[in-house]
Amino acid sequence: MPFNLTIPSDWEGIAVILVLVAAWNIFFERWKEYLPFLIDFQLKSYQLMSHLSPRRPRVKWVALVEVDDETFWKPPFSGIQPTNRRALGDLVRKAAAGGATVIALDFQLYSTSDKPGDDPIRADDNQYLLESIRQAVNAGTRVVLTQGFIQTEDGRWKEEPGIFERGALPEGVTFGYINLPTDKREIPLSKTIAPSGGGEPARADSFALQIVDQYEQSINMREKTRSESRIAAAIRDETFVCGSFVVPGSFVRISARDLLNVGPAAELCNGRIVIVGGAWHVSGGRGPLIESFASPVGRIPGMQLHANYVEALLDDRFQPRMSMWTGVVIDLIVGFMIYFLYNHATSSEQNFVLAVPLAMILFAYVTSANLGLYLDFVPPMSLYFVHLAWEHFK
């Protein structure tokens, strides 16, 4: 028997709509990486909600040192990868001399084998970088390096070895993982990994969280971000919080070439978190960026993702998300109530019931702006409105 979506008599058709909304939630969360157009819509919607907050997002702590086209395709970088470690060492020295509080190197300093180490041809440059880091730490600047993880066959995460032995690095140097979630609004915080040498699983912090930790320790903050109740819960459960974004032009952006040439560029590092990363284009200054990711403010390099995460954490501009299954249950309950009320309403009252799904969507925006809770499951309720409106005005 074919379904007839006539309202109010046919509850079979209504059940179909309820199931479709629930399926929308589940399917999108599980396979959203295969639906880029929906991700773009979701990102834009989220940025709109972020802007409804009475606290306008702005940059307070982070400065970006960009290895851009003018830097990467000319000496000393000369367009060669792995990135010139001696040149990176010079950037660390210049930023530290400029008064940077934390220097975070967003470069993958990974070993060429399954053990820590590097090609002997780069031994002198690596030693120069190590000495630059040591000098910066001895002068009071914290340094954060990247750590990557790969997933093992049993589903656990295992660290990728770097070019330095951990014991060779001075105290004050920390690592943060740079594995990013599919949804770039979600701030990576912490995950459990399997140690490369075996043993019990350990907890590893993200690049952004480590940067925030090191900054707060360097200025002796009493209340740490990781102890905030929403962050602590997300770390415990290995989930995410969603952070708001600022447009790329909001950051203090320093060309690495200008910093290498000293001058006034170094002064922009004073008292700031300095993230050094790649922002060059792959074909001699043309073509796509070396890396870019979809975000609520368009496609941006990875270093700007981390910068947004750091700013959001330090500025308390983040929101926890309800679980997918909680959202599905709420969607079904609200949907059933809407159709029940519609079926028992008079013609004039049905106009008010018709507005309920739209009111719920507005409620999600208000909740996001004022209560700090992102109700990501509410937008699928627009399907209720479409169905009711079609039947009502047909």
107 Cβ contact list (under 8 Å, min separation 6): 83, 88, 146, 276, 277, 278
273 Cβ contact list (under 8 Å, min separation 6): 61, 62, 63, 100, 101, 102, 104, 211, 215, 310
331 forms beta bridges with none
Is-contact 85 296, C-beta < 8 A? Answer: no
The reported pLDDT for the residue numbered 260 is 93
Is-contact 62 245, C-beta < 8 A? Answer: no
Angstrom distance (rounded) from CA 188 to CA 201? 18
Dihedral sign computed on CA atoms, order 303, 304, 305, 311 = positive
Is-contact 147 204, C-beta < 8 A? Answer: yes
Stretches in the chain below the pLDDT threshold 70: 1-14, 16-42, 44-56, 195-199, 322-332, 334-335, 338, 342-343, 347-394
3-state class (DSSP) for residue 140: coil
Length of the chain: 394
In the chain, what are the domain boundaries? 11-54+320-393, 62-316
Angstrom distance (rounded) from CA 310 to CA 304? 10
- Residue in the block written with tokens 């947004």: 308
- Residue in the block written with tokens 């040498």: 197
The reported pLDDT for the residue numbered 294 is 83
256 Cβ contact list (under 8 Å, min separation 6): 65, 66, 67, 68, 71, 91, 276
Q: Which of 321, 307, 313 is nearest to 237 (CA)?
A: 321
**For the chain, how big is the Rg over CA atoms in Å?**
25
3-state class (DSSP) for residue 285: coil
Is-contact 380 324, C-beta < 8 A? Answer: no
Helix (H) or strand (E) holding 197: none
The reported pLDDT for the residue numbered 68 is 95
Q: Which of 228, 248, 267 is nearest to 307 (CA)?
A: 248
Surface-to-core class of residue 215, CB atoms within 10 Å of its CB (0-12 exposed, 13-18 middle, 19+ buried): buried
Instruction: Measure CA 30 to chain center.
Output: 18
The structure tokens listed for 369 are: 């702006």
The reported pLDDT for the residue numbered 391 is 62
Give 253-269 as a DSSP string.
EEEHHHHHT-GGGGGGG
Is-contact 24 35, C-beta < 8 A? Answer: no
Is-contact 188 180, C-beta < 8 A? Answer: yes
Share of the chain above pLDDT 90, in %: 39
pLDDT tens digits along 29-86 = 665 556 566 666 667 666 666 555 556 678 899 999 999 999 999 999 999 999 999 9
Angstrom distance (rounded) from CA 194 to CA 153? 12
Q: Is 309 left (phi over 0), alpha (psi -120 to 50) or beta?
A: alpha
The reported pLDDT for the residue numbered 38 is 63
Dihedral sign computed on CA atoms, order 101, 107, 111, 114 = positive
Cα-based torsion angle of the residue sequence 362, 365, 370, 374 in order, rounded to the nearest 10 degrees: 130
CA atoms within 13 A on the CB side of 138: 9
- For the chain, the first-to-last Cα distance in angstroms comes to 23
